[in-house]
């Protein structure tokens, strides 16, 4: 398993990931982005509903996989 595959699983396992999957069973993974967040190397893992009306993104520290931020856009019930 690669780091990216493990991170994807961790993001999906977050409560927000479960809720997003329940509300948006048809979804897609968006391209990973490497960023700097809070002065640390980080990676953004994002998903969008199939129709693109809702998205969620998780910013994780690249070295520890710690969740640094969660961003929701157009997510019903949040």
Q: Is residue 78 part of a domain?
A: no
Q: Is residue 26 part of a domain?
A: yes
Report the domain count for the chain.
1
CB-based contacts of 72, cutoff 8 Å, min separation 6? 16, 54, 55, 56, 78
CB-based contacts of 24, cutoff 8 Å, min separation 6? 47, 49, 50, 54
Separation of alpha carbons 26 and 3, rounded Å: 25
Q: What is the pLDDT of residue 7?
A: 87
Q: Is the pLDDT score of 65 beyond 80?
A: yes
Q: Is residue 61 part of a domain?
A: yes
Q: What is the pLDDT of residue 26?
A: 93
**Model pTM score:** 0.84
Q: Is the pLDDT score of 38 beyond 50?
A: yes
Q: Is the pLDDT score of 13 beyond 60?
A: yes
Q: What is the pLDDT of residue 41?
A: 97
């Amino acid at each position: 398993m690669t780091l990216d595959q493990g991170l994807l699983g961790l993001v999906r396992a977050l409560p927000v990931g479960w809720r997003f999957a329940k509300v948006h069973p048809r979804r897609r993974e968006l391209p990973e982005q490497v960023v700097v967040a809070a002065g640390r190397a980080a990676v953004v893992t994002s998903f969008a509903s199939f129709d693109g009306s809702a998205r969620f993104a998780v910013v994780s520290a690249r070295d520890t996989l710690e969740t640094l931020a969660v961003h929701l856009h157009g997510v019903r019930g949040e």
